[in-house]
């Protein structure tokens, strides 16, 4: 079940936005759904980590697709539920990037409360994307990317 499909557009290049997108150590600062995240090293195909959700459980996270610098997918599993997160970057024109996040759910929670999950994601995902955009732009202005 698709829970959300949101995107935003801003200035940047695929390579610089990709660097920021896969910097898992900075993700909790812009991702309003997570409290903390831990991986043993840089993100790559098959990377395993642990995600502590805000007001929720800690769950294992697995990178299931990795196509630099355009997309990656990771999945987390908890309470008989699998959430699949697709992250995509598209170069629209010189200097313009579209960042798109798609979230799918399978299992117990989407079956029981899927409409509530959709409503919550629809409300919060634009905030998450705006945080991502603002932090990317700040880092770019400060020459950190």
Give the tens place of pLDDT for each residue, 54-72. 888 889 999 999 999 999 9
Domains, the chain: 2-141 (3.30.530.20)
Quickly count: other Cβ atoms within 10 Å of residue 9's Cβ.
14
Global model pTM greater than 0.95: no
Predicted local distance difference test score (pLDDT) of residue 82: 87
What is the pLDDT confidence band of residue 110, given thresholds at 50, 70 and 90? low
The pair of structure tokens assigned to 114 is: 């899927």
* Nearest-10 crossing angle of helices 108-141, 14-21: 120
Token pair 């290049």 is at which residue? 13
Mean pLDDT score, 80-94:
91
Start-to-end CA distance of the chain, whole Å, equals 35
For 13-53, write each residue's pLDDT tens digit.
899 999 999 999 999 999 988 999 999 899 999 999 999 98
The pair of structure tokens assigned to 73 is: 């997918």
């Amino acid at each position: 079940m698709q829970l959300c499909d949101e995107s935003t557009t801003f200035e940047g290049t695929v390579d610089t936005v990709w660097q920021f997108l896969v910097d898992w150590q900075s993700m909790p600062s812009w991702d309003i759904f997570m409290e903390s995240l831990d991986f043993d090293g840089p993100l790559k195909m098959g990377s395993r980590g642990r995600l502590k959700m805000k007001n929720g459980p800690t769950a294992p996270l697995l990178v299931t697709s990795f196509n630099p610098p355009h997309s990656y997918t990771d999945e987390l599993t908890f309470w008989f539920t699998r959430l699949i997160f697709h992250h995509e970057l598209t170069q629209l024109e010189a200097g313009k990037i579209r960042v798109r996040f798609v979230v799918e759910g399978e299992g117990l929670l989407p079956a029981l409360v899927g409409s509530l999950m959709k409503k919550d994601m629809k409300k919060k995902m634009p905030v998450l994307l705006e945080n991502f955009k603002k932090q990317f732009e700040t880092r770019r202005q400060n020459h950190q990317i």
